[in-house]
A and B are shown apart, each in its own frame.
Chain A
């Protein structure tokens, strides 16, 4: 049995990419090992590990009776596939767990598992947490932030302080900073120069005032650190393909910054449905940018249902006006009862005819 087990492990090591965590684990285990009697001859294990498979197999065969099943030592040289295998032995991981960090989603991203395993809570993590707490981030959000961006611990604390000071010098309020750091943990990874360039881009592109720019950055902090290529495409789509003027674009962007993060192709589809099929003008779209933030099938279902009932009337000069922002509000039940003034059975029947 032990033989086959060893063979399987050697197979796994050959075929799959696994964490070589022996070293870190030994490092983690050293404080424990100092006073303990049950020391595992780690060096010997490792040398055996490096020998060829056949050698190891014969050796294991001989030693099979001598070595009792020692699960404590087994962990030292068996490759592991996730962080959960180390949680019981690592103080850092336990602390992170109690903060609410989702280790499972960290380890799925390349290299992050190894990075987190090397951290030491007192030295690498604690100073950053106190830094964040000093900047107004609530401890409840730590877990979520670290889950999203554990690489924050790689940054220099002085750099982080500089970045915060920069934002403060740009007259971001403390509440704004708190929101920015919580909503977008990647923001602090960007150097001051880079953030400045990004903010400058938005200010120049849309001729924003300082207040509007701060509003934009606070409303959707992810926008500032978004892919530049994507942002350029979105701006092109909004300006050239949809034909919003500079003034319109400015208010649209400040009201709904998320529009810039939607894939441009999808955005154009939505716009063409709203503008051409529903007949809603640019000015009305500016009034309720939520229309463009809603998925197309949702708009289509609701508009066609209203049309069927004869209530699709979006001109505020006439009777029975339905505000476009109401169409995209709430769930289907809310829509059917309060906007379409119908019942859910009718809506279901309607949906089943298409």
Chain B
């Protein structure tokens, strides 16, 4: 399909349906990202060619005096409906006109991939959300100090030595935690790990939670270690910032030290990668439209994102 240049706001707005992949900076809320994007879209749309004001209906009552100086007659001669003028009725596009929702939210301290559905893309975004795709995080922890909510900007509560911690010990702990999380998943399904039922369940693919209440961790891996910082790669579903911070805190306690999260970064959400996410200086209309096209290609390459056979993970009846 050939690409053509568009100068008309209405055409752009008509095609503004889909998913965009935005790089959320750390330190601001998702709400603010959303507002910034929507207002930038509207600014861009309002700078394009606009619709002319409406014509007045022909059969209007002549209420004027009928003299040459009468403005009513002049106006009818011109025949434009001034109440539809941009200065009177307000800008043609306003942030409220665009529907927008995040596929899954990120916390304030988290940076990285944030998927936003725009207009008709809301359908796709809710389908993706219902499929509960895995998100991959890089979580950097700083050993030596614990903070009140395990995140960098709160009060320091405990300090501890961390000389005895080595990369081997961290990765050993990470793999044992991964194993116990996986075992817990099968237990939640109500099957024993050493049975045929468990094997068949595993054959069907990833066990996914049925609702978005319980966080599930699929993989924990140490990818970088440089005292006092270490970085973990987490594969999770339904996680929250607090959950991951608490996980890091618990790991550090196991390692006989304390730690807090210094950075949380989402690098992948399903097949939407951080490499083609839109940075803050690209949050303008052309950038957003280009990004939307890229994400559509991703969706076409992976149709299972929208429709998926899957095994639901229910909490077993007690």
Contact = CB atoms under 8 A, between A and B. Distances in A.
A87 B63 contact: no
A87 B88 contact: yes
B66 interface: yes
Interface in B33-81: 56, 60-66, 71-72, 75, 81
Contact of B81 (A29, A86, A88, A351): A88
Given A102-B87, A352-B277, A297 B27 contact: yes
Given A33-B63, A72-B63, A104-B88, A88 B82 contact: yes
B90 A31 contact: no
Contacts of B89: 82, 84, 104
Interface stretch (A93-101, A150-158, A182-190, A245-253): A93-101
Interface residues of A, number: 36
Q: Do most interface residues of chain B lie in helix, strand or loop, or is the interface mixed?
A: loop
A100 B86 CA distance: 10
A91 B65 contact: no
Contacts of B26: 354
A354 B263 contact: yes
B82 A104 contact: no
A353 B111 CA distance: 9
Given A297-B25, A352-B279, A83 B63 contact: no
Contacts, number: 78
A104 B111 contact: no
B66 A35 contact: yes
A102 to B, nearest CB: 5
A104 B279 contact: no
B23 interface: yes
A91 B263 contact: no
Given A38-B61, A72-B61, A354-B26, A84 B88 contact: yes
A103 interface: yes
B91 interface: yes
Given A32-B64, A38-B63, A351-B23, A94 B87 contact: no
B299 interface: no
A36 interface: yes
Nearest to A147: B87
A122 interface: no
A97 B88 contact: yes
Contacts of B275: 352
A42 interface: no
A101 B265 CA distance: 46
Contacts of B23: 351-352
A102 B87 CA distance: 5
A304 B10 CA distance: 41
Contacts of A100: 87
A97 B87 contact: yes
A91 B71 contact: yes
A348 interface: yes
Contacts of B14: none
Contacts of A149: none
B71 A94 contact: yes
A76 to B, nearest CB: 11
A237 interface: no
B51 to A, nearest CB: 15
A141 to B, nearest CB: 15
B65 A104 contact: no
Interface string A314-354: 00000000000000000110000000000000001001111
Nearest to B112: A352
Contacts of B81: 88
Contacts of A46: none
B65 A87 contact: no
A85 interface: yes
A83 B82 CA distance: 11
A39 B69 CA distance: 21
A88 B75 contact: yes
Contacts of A354: 26, 111, 263, 265
A334 B274 CA distance: 24
A314 to B, nearest CB: 23
Contact of B83 (A35, A70, A71, A87): A87
Interface in A58-88: 70-72, 82-88
Interface of B: 23, 25-27, 56, 60-66, 71-72, 75, 81-85, 87-91, 111, 263, 265, 274-275, 277, 279-281
Report the 5 A-B pairs with minimum CB-CB distance, sorted nearest first.
Answer: A104-B90, A84-B88, A84-B83, A87-B82, A72-B61
7 contacts: A84-B88, A87-B83, A94-B82, A97-B87, A104-B91, A352-B277, A354-B26
Interface of A: 29, 31-36, 38, 70-72, 82-88, 91, 93-94, 97, 100-105, 297, 331-332, 348, 351-354
Given A72-B61, A297-B25, 4 more contacts: A38-B63, A84-B85, A84-B90, A91-B71
